[in-house]
Amino acid sequence: MAETAAYFVDYVIPPVAVRQWVLSLPIPLRLLFAAQPQLLAPLLQVVHRVIASFLIKRAGLKHPQADTGAVTLIQRFGSEANLNIHLHCLVLDGVYRNCDGVPSFHEAAAPTNEELEALLLKIITRVMRLLTRQGYLIEEQGMTYLAEADTDRALAPLQAASCTYRIALGPRAG
């Protein structure tokens, strides 16, 4: 086991600065991603693209000139074993630039609160657009809501109770 951990550290995450980014989701989207796990890959693509673009721009470079890297854990539960789908992204805190075939790492300064808010807004906008385009969200008269879910799913009420820390079954339900 120790050899596996050493391999991970030595070959997957290089010895450079790394920042953890955590993306938590509102309860309706937790339920959607639990019911439609295939949507997690496009969600992750949006998140990584926004963060990578920010880091590359911060380094004063353009996309073809630089790359960054990330490892993400999709966590499906909260501290009380409740349904709480969220992402833990370990992102290299900078970019690699190819200098004559040799990668050169350029560390990025920490984002400001204003930059974090702008990044979050960009992620929210792109995720909402993605889910709307795929038919999971509906926009009408300035309102956005989840499209009608498949009501035959037996797990839906249990997942909803778990997300909101409620007892789903038995005499103490609710």
173 within domain boundaries? no
> Please, what sign has the CA dihedral across residues 96, 98, 103, 107?
negative
Which segments within the chain are labelled E, that is strand? 18-24, 66-67, 70-77, 83-92, 94-99, 102-107, 137-140, 143-146
Look at residue 77 and tell me whether its pLDDT is greater than 60.
yes
**Domain that includes residue 74, residue range:** 16-163
Say how far apart CA 63 and CA 65 lie, in whole Å: 5
User: Which pair of tokens denotes residue 121?
Assistant: 């807004």
Res. 161 pLDDT band, cuts 50 70 90: low
Structural domain includes residue 73: yes
The answer, yes or no, to whether residue 163 has pLDDT greater than 60, is: no
Q: pLDDT tens digits for 15-71?
A: 888 999 999 998 888 888 988 899 999 999 999 999 999 999 998 888 888 989 999
Beta bridge partners of 70: 91
Please check whether residue 50 is in contact with residue 127, taking contact to mean a CB–CB distance below 8 angstroms. Answer: no
Are 52 and 123 in contact by the 8 Å Cβ rule? The answer is: no
Residue 9 lies in a domain: no
Q: How many domains is the chain partitioned into structurally?
A: 1
Residue 167 is predicted with a pLDDT of 63
The tokens of 77 are what?
Answer: 């539960």
User: pLDDT, tens digit, for every residue of 91-147?
Assistant: 999 999 988 888 889 999 999 999 999 999 999 999 999 999 998 888 887 777 677
In a domain, 6, yes or no: no
**170 part of a folded domain:** no
The answer to whether residue 38 is domain-embedded is yes
Bigger pLDDT: 174 vs 63: 63
- Would you state the pLDDT for residue 93? 93
Position 98 in a domain: yes
Please give the pLDDT value at position 174: 61
In a domain, 7, yes or no: no
pLDDT at residue number 114: 97
Confidence check: pLDDT of 1 > 80: no
Which tokens is 66 given? 């630089």
CA 52 to the chain's CA centroid = 13
